[in-house]
Structure 1
Amino acid sequence: MRGTSWELLSSLLVFILSVSRCHGGCAEVDSMTEAVAGESFLLGCVSCKRRAEVPAHATVDWHFRSTGEEEYVNIFHYDHPKPEILHADFNDRLEWQGTMGTQDVQTGAVFIHNVTFNDTGTYLCTFQRTLYLPRKNEIIIVEKEVELIVVAKANRELLSVVSEIMMYVLIVVLQLWMFVVLIYCYRKIWAEHEARDARKALRAHKKALLNEPFNITDKCDGVLME
């Protein structure tokens, strides 16, 4: 179950990071920073091109610096359409998940499969983009770091806990609100029922008065005539 949830979350993040593939635009989303040993992890890296109308060519490099080390080592290189794994420790474990089908790369995400505790450290994502301008080509280099921690078991993030609490609070509030609405509707219906009965009784009383014969008493009864 945990693996399935992680795969769904990773797929969602891939979709968010790959928004640049659509015509809607490009969103630079920070990568997650906690991986679970034995599972897969998505290293996210996005560099949006600011001038969409300018043709460009971009390459992506990933470097890794393990905890306690000072130097980075180049572990991955992507130059459309060919991804290359450059370090033996990551052989068969890195999978390109960035922009595909074009050399104008804006998403440079990669999957690390079968994560180990030795993968803990700092990852450096480097975009080298060449803009093909009319007068002179321009080279732009963008670097982004991802601090990765590998844990034995996934920790619940604060946002997840708060979201779950808010969900239960919302459920309770909705139930109370429905209870109040039911009481209000019941009282309104009962009041209308009583008013209708009162009107029926009043109409019946008026009808009875109209149908009742007049009793005229002779005031002269008992008066002796002289």
Structure 2
Amino acid sequence: MFVSRKAGVSLRRRPVVRTPSMETHGRLVLHLLLLFIFAVVEVRLVCVDVPSDGEAIVGKVKKLTCIYCMKREEILATTKVEWFYKGQDKNKTRTLIYLYDGEPQEPKDVDEQWKGRVTWTGSKDMQDVSISILNVTLNDTGTYECEVTRFFEFDSFKLSANKNIRINLKVNMRASADITALYSEIMMYVLLVFLTFWLLVEMVYCYRKISKSDEQAQDTAY
């Protein structure tokens, strides 16, 4: 059988413009959701042992950071925390200024200097056992010690672990310039911009890959 071709009429197949189907959109949303969940998991809170800053300003609130990270099997441990202070006079002994034993509390015989001025700023999981000093004065200059004791009780024996963190605090009338802190802040913003750009690139890449895969599947079907 012969097919005649009329003059001026082209039998060339026209390109078919296909739009992504509902299935493609569904797969795209699913992939982007998984990517978002992955990004959130990667930035989850992690216990980091950060040293406390050794400078305070008169009249401000000063947080004394004390971190004692726990392994997963240690979460059920009982924790006791004692905060001590020793002034600049080497002849003086250290004094207990705050205590955590079942609950945060001020020692009964605490010195008048610390009454009502120390607050608990630790976390519920007892990995952060920090305190804060209210209305800092020049007399607060000195050495602070954070003593943490964890008690573990197993079927046949008991075990305890200790950690001691010492903080040398200097109280100034005014804040001094901290170049290291400024550099760290700049690097944090740079890292944030980079991670945001990387996430956008991944989203575009996933979209193009899924769209191309769907078009190939439709071409095969035709």
Query: TM-score normalised to the size of structure 1?
Result: 0.57
Shift of 1:82: 3.6
- The reply to whether residue 47 of structure 1 matches residue 71 of structure 2 is no
Verify the 8 A CA contact 1:40 1:113 in the aligned structure 2. yes
Please tell me the root mean square deviation across aligned C-alpha atoms, in Å: 2.6
Match of 2:153 in 1: 132
| Aligned partner (choices 115, 118, 128) of residue 94 of structure 1 | 118
Moved over 4 A (4+): 161-166
Give the secondary-structure state (helix, strand or coil) at the position aligned to 2:106: strand
**Larger radius of gyration, structure 1 or 2?**
1
Deviations 1:156-194 (A, max 9, x none): 11214546899xxx9xxxxxxxxxxxxxxxxxxxxxxxx
- The reply to whether residue 78 of structure 1 matches residue 103 of structure 2 is no
Query: TM-score normalised to the size of structure 2?
Result: 0.58
Sort the Cα spacing of 1:105 and 1:63 in 2 relative to 1 into closer, same or farther, 3 A: same
Aligned pairs, number: 143
Identical residues among aligned pairs (%)? 30
Distance in 1 between residues matched to 2:122 and 2:186, nearest whole Å: 35
Sort the Cα spacing of 1:49 and 1:120 in 2 relative to 1 into closer, same or farther, 3 A: same
Give the secondary-structure state (helix, strand or coil) at the position aligned to 1:52: helix
Sort the Cα spacing of 1:50 and 1:89 in 2 relative to 1 into closer, same or farther, 3 A: same
Deviations 1:6-29 (A, max 9, x none): xxxxxxxxxxxxxxxxx8442111
Match of 1:5 in 2: none
Whichever residue aligns with residue 56 of structure 1, its letter is A
Relative contact order higher in (CA < 8 Å, ≥ 6 apart): 2
Unaligned runs of 5+ in 1: 1-22, 171-226
Match of 1:61 in 2: 82
Unaligned runs of 5+ in 2: 1-43, 191-222
